[in-house]
Structure 1
Amino acid sequence: MSRDRDWQLQVSRRLRITDAFVIVWAVIGAYVIRFGFEPDFVISGQEPNYFLVSIALALVWWFMLGAWNSRQSRILGAGPDEYKRVAAASLWLFGLVAIISYVFRIETARGYVGIALPVGLLGLLLARWLIRQHLSVARQKGGSMSRILLLGGPSAVAHLASSLQRAKHSGYLPVAAYTPGAPENLTVEPESGLPILGHAVDTSSVLVAIEQCRADAVAVSAGVQLHPQTIRHLGWELAARNVGLIMAPALTDIAGPRIHTQQVAGLPLIHVTTPTLEGGQRVAKRLFDIVVSGVLIVLAAPVMLVITALVKFGSKGPVLFRQDRVGMEGRQFQMLKFRSMVEDAEARLVDLQHRNEGNGLLFKIRDDPRVTPIGRVLRKYSLDELPQLFNIFAGSMSLVGPRPPLPKEVAEYEHDVRRRLLVKPGLTGLWQVSGRSNLSWQDSVRLDLYYVENWSLAGDLVIILRTARAVFHSTGAY
């Protein structure tokens, strides 16, 4: 079967070369810093020859990255698996070095190891991130993608196609659908527009469809009307043809840490744990908010003083804008912002309703005439939100969380949307790092609910790092 998998070979080759360069750079750097520029070939007593050790360490490190499958195409470009495997391979290697040194009583230079490991690991992760950015750009243009045949019921196929098309950075390109047992007069999936290549319930017909659309993998979704034994046989045939098999259960917006697979009687049962933010987790999040917001208040104090003067003398009105917002469990609080609009902005809102560019319950105008010249700059770089650090320190907000809604928005919430109120609203969140005002109401709700369902402290740290990038690019800020 002829398929265009050149991108996989190219990325794999690029990763092997990059890994080798970073490892050699880290090991040589550690050697030079610790022992100088002169290579020593002499072994004295229990002291190892670090020049030879460096060569062996670099080779083993490079091979361990391959042994941990950190260069597999299916984990490249999206998700944390690639980073986890790079870190695991590196930590296992240096753990083995420590064990060998202890068992054989070899005096290992701690400075050498203490430089090589963190520098090499940081370099590897940074290199992987840079390659991932390049890969993401290529995928947004339609390149470096795995062709996927979607196998399942009509509604499940439509949902899966929409999800994959929305997440192009993941590298999956739906090219066709196969709907066993569906009406045979349906040749095009109405929602996604994908061609439907068949409806028969036998393995051979599915294999013909795979050949026809030159699929690299088959994604089996919910509602597939195939006997389990047929799916098993299909898996064998796909393995023989080097075609991937992906099982896509009817679970949406569930993060990896909540999913656990257990083998029972040969069946891979998927357990989904209930999201909680109680006890130690709640205390840890609160302590994180207090410490980080306190530090940021001190660091940002000079900037806030300058902004205070600019707002005060830039236009008539108070420096701070106070607005009632709804927090956790529906409790209202006053959210603080630097005033970025004219003093009578709220009174002029009625006259501008016909110009609303927002979606759903959100009111947004790209060129809002109420915004002051200084306020436009503050909004572009989110500087008007700095006073919310005091909200966070006081406990009414969190550093990361759903967008703080207005009371009138909450009054119109549907039942599911009210789950946003299970956690404190945040200064930043998934909505902030995913487009801000460019998001539709549906996407904003989906991201907020995803955060509520899958909260973790590590996730908060990632969002904070992504926030700096979003603010710098000023995407969706108006």
Structure 2
Amino acid sequence: MGVSRNENARELGELLVRLADVLLIGSTAIATSLLLSDDVRELVVRGALVAFSIVFSLILFPLFGVYRSWRGRSKPRMASYLGFAWAAAQLCALAAMFAFRLTMSVSRMWWLCWVIGAAVALMVFRLTVHAVLGKLRQAGHDLREVAVVGAGRHCARLVRKIAELPDSGFRAVAIFNTQPLEQSIHDDLPDYRDLATFAERVRKTDVREVWVALPMSEESTLLRILEEFKGDLVNVRFIPDVRSLAMFGGQMTDLLGAPAINLMASPISSFDLLRKAIFDRLFAAIALVALVPLLVVIAVAVKLSSEGPVLFTQRRKGVDGKVFRIFKFRTMRAQVAQAGVVRQAARKDPRVTRVGSFLRRTSLDELPQFLNVLRGEMSVVGPRPHALEHDDQYQKSVAGYIHRYRVKPGITGWAQINGFRGETDQIEKMQCRVEHDLYYMKNWSFGLDMRIVIATVTKGMVHRNAY
């Protein structure tokens, strides 16, 4: 009975959210028309575009996971999923309008303002709903009870996290301690040592969530749990302890229809890589257009400073170790390079020109790398790439160095805004830089990228280690 009531409530909630989406899309279109109303003849065509957008939104939003439960999940990721779903709906709506030869009849300014306004309204609505639900859950309402199975620090960490995040909508109510001789995991929760007694508690109190927090080696205990609850409508979720094994957090993925845990693989999902690539290209295109006057001035200064080309190119390794040619403004006098030998610029290096010294101190020599970003070889934010000869050297002596190749190299990065840049004349310097790069990869988020970009711009690109 309780399950049916919960299911009905969930379906009603989803229906109300869909209705709210329709109302928000329609109302923002009306508001935009009232603000920018300059041609009454466009109203019918605008109405057709809005109708197409609503239809495709109702079709595509579920496919993007917009309407699934986000209880305990990342809200920024939810907002990004919604943004991409809305963009996809607009592409489909515009394609439909083009098929009916109606696109030329719609004001581009009206369309742009409406699309942005609707996107903001949809996101604000969801974030507001989740904020209200979070307050209700903190007050003890709308909580989903969880019974936890496990032992040791991993299980204790999970129970503590549930208690620390009440707005996620979960509350631990019982623990089955798989190690009878071990002390109680949490003093305020019933700590069962017998599986049958634990299962009876779960059934009597109508608990619908059983989370199994065990090491991957505890297969026999997991099978006992599954056997015990195979006849119950209980969600059994396995949260394995892979912290000591996984390089980047042990995210789940799907391979040939089977779940897999990434122990050593790219820490960023395909969907997030797509978001990152779209942002990179848009940012690079805008930056190059905005910086054209500065780029021209720098190019002329470099050309006049000494003989040689304006741009310096060098082979570097990118994602998955693929080699590409990086672009920089030339900062040194033209010279014949020795095969297999690359000297890093040192303080007061006689090879650096006066113009080049200024460009290196201000990092303006890096600006042509936006071309690499447009070509898909680099990202705006990521680990800085090094010369191939240095890669070969550090890969053998610096722990974790090779894992920098799991993402695209960047123009700026977490290591750079924390002061780890310039000459790496000691292994310890490179080790610190790599540790910061790995931290960035383990903790990547779109928000972290924005934080790094903002820090790079606001703090300036000048640094004492840049010479």
TM-score by length of 1: 0.49
* 2:414–2:437 contact (8 Å) kept in structure 1: no
RMSD: 5.7
1:449 Cα deviation from its structure 2 partner: 11
* 2:248–2:263 contact (8 Å) kept in structure 1: no
Between the aligned partners of 1:131 and 1:172, the Cα distance in structure 2 is: 17
* 2:53–2:93 contact (8 Å) kept in structure 1: no
1:161 Cα deviation from its structure 2 partner: 0.5
What does residue 194 of structure 2 align with? Answer: 199
Between the aligned partners of 2:114 and 2:152, the Cα distance in structure 1 is: 53
2:225 is aligned with 1:219? no
* 1:198–1:209 contact (8 Å) kept in structure 2: no
2:18 is aligned with 1:23? no
1:22 Cα deviation from its structure 2 partner: 2.0
1:458 Cα deviation from its structure 2 partner: 2.1
Residues 52 and 451 of structure 1: is their aligned pair in 2 closer, same or farther, counting only changes over 3 Å?
Answer: same
Q: Which one of the candidate residues 271, 284, 296 is aligned to 2:262?
A: 271
Between the aligned partners of 1:137 and 1:129, the Cα distance in structure 2 is: 12
Residues 119 and 259 of structure 1: is their aligned pair in 2 closer, same or farther, counting only changes over 3 Å?
Answer: same
Between the aligned partners of 1:228 and 1:276, the Cα distance in structure 2 is: 27
2:176 is aligned with 1:178? yes
> Which one-letter code corresponds to 2:2 in the other structure?
S
Residues 234 and 452 of structure 1: is their aligned pair in 2 closer, same or farther, counting only changes over 3 Å?
Answer: farther
CA deviations on 1:431-471 (whole Å, 9 max, x unpaired) are xxxxxxxxxxxxxxxxx99954524472325658999xxxx
> Which one-letter code corresponds to 2:162 in the other structure?
L
Between the aligned partners of 1:193 and 1:391, the Cα distance in structure 2 is: 57
* 1:258–1:275 contact (8 Å) kept in structure 2: no
Q: Which one of the candidate residues 122, 140, 145 is aligned to 2:120?
A: 122
What does residue 99 of structure 1 align with? Answer: 95
Q: How many residues align?
A: 322
2:83 is aligned with 1:83? no
Q: Which one of the candidate residues 247, 266, 281 is aligned to 2:238?
A: 247
Between the aligned partners of 1:198 and 1:151, the Cα distance in structure 2 is: 10
* 1:152–1:225 contact (8 Å) kept in structure 2: no
1:164 Cα deviation from its structure 2 partner: 2.2
CA deviations on 1:246-275 (whole Å, 9 max, x unpaired) are 3212145989997352436x7522114468
Look up the SS of the partner of 1:73 in the other structure.
coil
CA deviations on 1:8-30 (whole Å, 9 max, x unpaired) are 67865764454333212223234
1:165 Cα deviation from its structure 2 partner: 2.0
Residues 60 and 262 of structure 1: is their aligned pair in 2 closer, same or farther, counting only changes over 3 Å?
Answer: closer
What does residue 460 of structure 1 align with? Answer: 448
2:221 is aligned with 1:209? no
Q: Which one of the candidate residues 140, 158, 161 is aligned to 1:160?
A: 158
Residues 52 and 212 of structure 1: is their aligned pair in 2 closer, same or farther, counting only changes over 3 Å?
Answer: same
Look up the SS of the partner of 2:118 in the other structure.
helix
Between the aligned partners of 1:155 and 1:86, the Cα distance in structure 2 is: 36
What is the percentage of aligned positions where both structures have the same residue? 13
CA deviations on 1:343-377 (whole Å, 9 max, x unpaired) are xxxxxxxxxxxxxxxxxxxxxxxxxxxxxxxxxxx
1:97 Cα deviation from its structure 2 partner: 1.9
1:171 Cα deviation from its structure 2 partner: 2.5
Between the aligned partners of 2:131 and 2:416, the Cα distance in structure 1 is: 27
Q: Which one of the candidate residues 37, 43, 57 is aligned to 1:61?
A: 57
Between the aligned partners of 2:416 and 2:13, the Cα distance in structure 1 is: 38
CA deviations on 1:111-170 (whole Å, 9 max, x unpaired) are 254333222112211222222332333333333332111123354322211122223333
Residues 199 and 157 of structure 1: is their aligned pair in 2 closer, same or farther, counting only changes over 3 Å?
Answer: farther
2:2 is aligned with 1:2? yes
Between the aligned partners of 1:105 and 1:49, the Cα distance in structure 2 is: 10
> Which one-letter code corresponds to 1:26 in the other structure?
T
TM-score by length of 2: 0.50
Gaps of 5+ in 2: 269-275, 288-360, 367-380, 383-398, 405-412, 419-435, 456-467
Gaps of 5+ in 1: 42-47, 292-389, 402-417, 429-447, 468-478
Look up the SS of the partner of 1:249 in the other structure.
coil
Look up the SS of the partner of 2:260 in the other structure.
strand
Look up the SS of the partner of 2:262 in the other structure.
strand
Between the aligned partners of 2:230 and 2:362, the Cα distance in structure 1 is: 58
